[in-house]
Structure 1
Amino acid sequence: MATVADNTLDAATARMVIEPKSYARWDGLLDTFDHVRQTMPVARVTPAQDGVFDPFWLITRYDDVMRISKDNATFLNHPRSVVFSLTEGIEFAKHLTGGSPHMVASLVTFDGPIHMKYRKLTQEWFMPKNLRQTEDEIRKLAHRTVDRLVAAGPDVDFVTQVSAPYPLHVVMQIMGVPEEDEPRMLMLTQQLFGGQDDDLNQSGLKDLPPEAITQLVAGAVADFEQYFAGITAQKRAAPTSDVASIIANATIDGEPLNDRDMMGYFIILAAAGHDTTSASTAGAMLALARDPEQFARVKADRSLLAGIVEEAIRWTTPVQHFMRTAACDTEISGQKIAAGDWLMLSYIAANHDPAQFENPRKFDAARSPNRHLAFGAGAHQCLGLHLARLEMRILFEVLLDRLDSIELAGEPLRSNSTFVGGLKTLPLRIKAH
């Protein structure tokens, strides 16, 4: 049995795992995860200085991440932070919330029976049968988005023109948010998930210290809550068929949702439903721009499109990790884990594990099977996975109809973020008709 000392990462590798800028240097990050997976797949990550962050176990093998994801009794989302955070950030969240390490209470942070009770409120709404009713409206949004892209061409930034605004339009529409409020929602989303990247967090400040980043996120949460309090009042007074009306009028065990839980539901749908699909969409476009033959094949044969979408989600892995806490003493791949230990599930490492995916760095639209972990697994699997696939499929149907060719017109840049990540710029040269 390996000891903790035997399985502790060296300081340089540990920095790679927790440093946001490492996630912008994608190939180097994948090299790091490959090395860790091969040498110590369950690795202890400790801070160089005491108190900076709590030590945790880094999990890099696909099979281990899958097992932990499905075992929600042994590996909990609560009571510790479900996203890697510095101690200072966690203490700030506790101060702000009255004791919770989670700035936002949501499906992501709930365990056990309460999680399923909250999930069931909207689960049916996000199933394919119901989502088919939204296809026409999503297609209209896709056409409007591609029209703007073509008008801006031939040289465009696909992220700012398409992959950032389009998923935002879709999720805001299904939540009943007026289009004129979408820029505010985009800014808040970027502040919430882009806090580690100055280009995305809208702060205008370089090299923000951790406490400033935390306060920026806290401000975004407060602004979200204020906005959706107004939406809640509207949907209670005049309910419609959108998902916001379901949340605003929902009850758990016969009681209305409390304000914090309701706002958490709104925030997780609004924010998570936008940034993640944006990253996958940009990833698919990058792969097609690098491979003109694959672009030509899928343009001629739309049956390949489902594979493009699924592979883009794996290849990009927008949600890069989640944290879990061991509920009891256990063991993972021969390594003893103590009750209360914190674990990082690296979805990037799992989705690039050669034991599960042949030649994992290759974008292969024909990859089958493709049982990736980008949506998680088990009880906490992403609620909006069917919506993400649907909106990506519709967008690429419209793009393939309108574009004759695409090629890179500069170097794409990834965001500096340990949690939700992807391309922040994708310069393209397009030829359209």
Structure 2
Amino acid sequence: MNDTSAGFRDWSCYTATPADSLALFEAARGCPVAHSDAHDGFTLLLDYKAVRKAMADHRRFSSEPQVLRPMLPRKAIPALEMDPPRHGAWRAIFSQALPPGTDVRMEPFVRADIRRHLARLAPSGGCDIVAELCEPVPAETICHLVGVDEEMVPAIRRAAIEMFAAQGDPELFGHRQAAFGALTVTEVHERAARPRDDFLTTLVGLEVEGRVLDDEDFVVLFAAFLGAGHHSTTSAMASLVWAVFSDPALRDRIAADRSLIAQAVEETLRLYPPFYGFFRRTVCPVEVNGVDIPSGHDVYMGWAAANRDPAQFEAPDRFDIDRASTRHMAFGFGIHSCPGAALARMELKVLLEELLDTLPDLSIGEPVPPFAFGGGDYCYLPALDVRFTPKTIED
């Protein structure tokens, strides 16, 4: 295979920052593919059409055994790391938890949680909005969704954060997954003893692929819910606050025309996807952009690069509230696209609505820390200080 981009020689999210990665992606525009020797070697797809086509082709680009590198000592994440026919049986579990209309049903809970946090924060005149709002709200949403007791939310949230942060260290990940499992499996066992009208009770005794779910299944299911529904939404919320409120003119324009909120959400997801990409493994020899890729080879689906492809998006590095097309890859594509996309979009919309209503003069403090990688190709803002006029709000 030709190495068309020497700058990627040892690239991975553990050797480069998000900013460095974006610069490499841009430098490689026009190359058919790129290659990295990290994680035993893999090919990177960076242009929009190639990524979209490969994401839609699960027969040649497999999601098994795992979608992140390095490989970790855990079971496959249900549906996400499974191909048909297994994929359909496990995806149905998420469809049960997220039937059509879930975003509408959950919106009052999300709005109430955000208002409760804002009532607590408003008198202070400033805070780290990642820690105080963007971090807790998505976790609370997922716990409302599946039925976790409110008093368990902080402990489960902390255990999940610690587990995801250990993605690059298989041994440490194993220890932290065990700690996460000890908390989450207890919730399911509680439902077995005392059933309720919630999704956790639905999992008790559920059969998939001809067998009853076991404790290991519950752990990876919880990890999937919290990884997709909490971890990534926290990242998107912080990015949305930064993108909108760092530009007072943009902030005021959206405040005056709330129909622009949906576009602000999509531009944020396009420019600042919570995951820069996932891996696939070829199941047969394939050809991409004239380059032959052998069977059994790891291929990185570069979502962040595809989202900034100038052949797809005019002035792709610019946050453009008037952009005509935002068909981005932030939620993946194909049969493995995120089942909670509508829920995440609703959370982002409600967050922006409530901030504009409650703290209309909110601005971004200095310095703004750079985006970082954490726990695989997960990209996030570690902190974001904001300032606003102190006020007292009735919760």
TM-score by length of 1: 0.84
In structure 1, which of residues 59, 65, 82 is the aligned counterpart of residue 67 of structure 2?
A: 82
Partner of 2:379: 421
- Cα deviation code 1:240-262 (max 9, x no counterpart): 44332333342225532233223
Cα distance, 1:246–1:432 mapped onto 2, change above 3 Å: farther
Give 1:165 shift.
Answer: 1.2
Cα distance, 1:132–1:238 mapped onto 2, change above 3 Å: farther
Amino acid of the structure 1 residue aligned with 2:241: M
Partner secondary structure for residue 110 of structure 1: coil
Partner of 1:200: none
Amino acid of the structure 1 residue aligned with 2:28: V
| Contact residue 317 and residue 374 of structure 1 kept, 8 A | yes
Amino acid of the structure 1 residue aligned with 2:8: T
1:14 and 2:9 matched: yes
Partner of 1:112: 84
Amino acid of the structure 2 residue aligned with 1:189: A
1:58 and 2:44 matched: yes
Partner of 2:22: 30
Partner of 1:204: none
1:318 and 2:309 matched: no
In structure 2, which of residues 37, 43, 50 is the aligned counterpart of residue 46 of structure 1?
A: 37
1:351 and 2:307 matched: yes
Q: After TM superposition, list the pairs within 5 Å mapping 1:336-347 onto structure 2.
A: 336-347=292-303
Give 1:131 shift.
Answer: 3.3
Show structure 1 runs of 5+ residues with no match: 48-52, 97-101, 197-209
> Aligned partners of 1:420 and 1:267: how far apart in 2?
14
Query: Identity of paired residues, percent?
Result: 28
Give 1:124 shift.
Answer: 4.5
Cα distance, 1:423–1:134 mapped onto 2, change above 3 Å: same
Partner of 1:202: none
Cα distance, 1:165–1:383 mapped onto 2, change above 3 Å: same
1:431 and 2:389 matched: yes
Give 1:19 shift.
Answer: 4.4
> Aligned partners of 1:34 and 1:250: how far apart in 2?
47
Partner of 2:160: 189
Amino acid of the structure 2 residue aligned with 1:29: S
**CA root-mean-square deviation:** 2.0
TM-score by length of 2: 0.92
Partner of 1:399: 355
Q: After TM superposition, list the pairs within 5 Å mapping 1:18-417 onto structure 2.
A: 18-20=12-14, 22-24=16-18, 26=19, 28-38=20-30, 40-47=31-38, 53-79=39-65, 81-85=66-70, 90=71, 93=72, 96=73, 102=74, 104-151=76-123, 153-195=124-166, 213-253=169-209, 255-413=211-369, 414-417=371-374
Aligned length: 389
> Aligned partners of 1:290 and 1:170: how far apart in 2?
26
- Cα deviation code 1:197-252 (max 9, x no counterpart): xxxxxxxxxxxxx6xx3333212211222222211122234444433233334222
> Aligned partners of 1:390 and 1:21: how far apart in 2?
34
Partner secondary structure for residue 22 of structure 1: coil
> Aligned partners of 1:249 and 1:295: how far apart in 2?
49
Q: Which moved more, 1:379-388 or 1:186-195?
A: 186-195
Deviation >4 Å, runs of 4+: none
Give 1:166 shift.
Answer: 1.2
| Contact residue 404 and residue 432 of structure 1 kept, 8 A | no
